[in-house]
Amino acid sequence: MSVESNLKRLFSLEGKVVLMTGAAGGIGTELAKGLAGVGAEVAACDVDVERLKALEEQVVGDGGKVRTYVMDVTSNDSVKTCVDAVIRDSAQIDVLINAAGINKREGFLDVTEETYDRIMDINLKGVFRVTQAVVPHMMKRRKGSIINVGSHNNTGMLAGCSIYGATKSGLQAFTRAGAVEWAEWGIRTNSISPGHILTPLTQVTWDHPTRGDYLRERIALRRPGYPEELLGTVVLLASDASSYITGSNFVLDGGCLCGGTPWEYDTKYRYQG
């Protein structure tokens, strides 16, 4: 068998239907385009109708398969209606990617109950709702892969991200729960934890006179990650190449959590670039 056909057998998503929440976001859009590029039929779900439309145009323009659905992960009715519509349109859901998420940066003591509830409702309860709606369909076919989009905030806390970090830590528990409860149904559950990814929303931080340098100093690769750099791991987890991986978390942070270089040290091997 040729290299191409071996790689295709392992990693191709042809014939697989991927339901993704938060699909119109900075990360979701790149993942949707990339997944469609390796053959997946993407059911792109989001509340942002305009950006869903733009995503659809891009994927279709590139020759990919995508359907868009307006789904609000805070509403049981909206989630059920959308999941039913995806099953009606595509007959199956092979992969679920929970990517919808929000944050509001403020001190723990400043957070109002309203803000707490909103972040929890989207980032954690939203994943609960969508996963509860999708898994029974996967069980019927005795296969499926769930990918929860966490954050390195589930391990390395940044000030002003307490509730966000709590939701992403909670997602780790959901990931482990799914892995142990649904393995016998052929369903695998994993998560990715991106670090500092450059999206339209985080551009301002990277352009900031001090914050951009602060981040670069703490990331081993000395730069932000780009949404398309999450794709390889997502394709791995969505495809049959990861058939023995479940309950795992993949940290995609350019070496941010592994440490840093806060001071000069003696070396003959300083890269001059």
Ligand X SMILES: NC(=O)c1ccc[n+]([C@@H]2O[C@H](COP(=O)([O-])OP(=O)(O)OC[C@H]3O[C@@H](n4cnc5c(N)ncnc54)[C@H](O)[C@@H]3O)[C@@H](O)[C@H]2O)c1
Question: What are the CA-CA distances from residue 72 to residues 47, 103, 145, 217 (Å)?
Answer: 5, 16, 22, 38
Q: What is d(CA 241, CA 94) in angstroms, rounded to the nearest whole number?
A: 14
Residues annotated as part of the active site: 164
Q: Could you tell me the smallest distance in angstroms from the CB atom of residue 141 to ligand X?
A: 25
Name the site residues for ligand X (rule: CB under 6 A).
21-22, 24-28, 46-48, 71-74, 99-102, 122, 149, 151, 194, 196-197, 199, 201-202
Tokens at residue 257, please? 């959590």
Q: Is 207 left (phi over 0), alpha (psi -120 to 50) or beta?
A: alpha
Give the closest residue to 261 by CA, choosing from 217, 202, 229. Answer: 217
- CB-nearest residue to ligand X: 25
Q: Could you tell me the smallest distance in angstroms from the CB atom of residue 218 to ligand X?
A: 14
Q: Closest CB to ligand X among 64 and 165?
A: 165
Q: Closest CB to ligand X among 25 and 64?
A: 25
Q: What is d(CA 195, CA 123) in angstroms, rounded to the nearest whole number?
A: 17
Q: Could you tell me the smallest distance in angstroms from the CB atom of residue 225 to ligand X?
A: 7
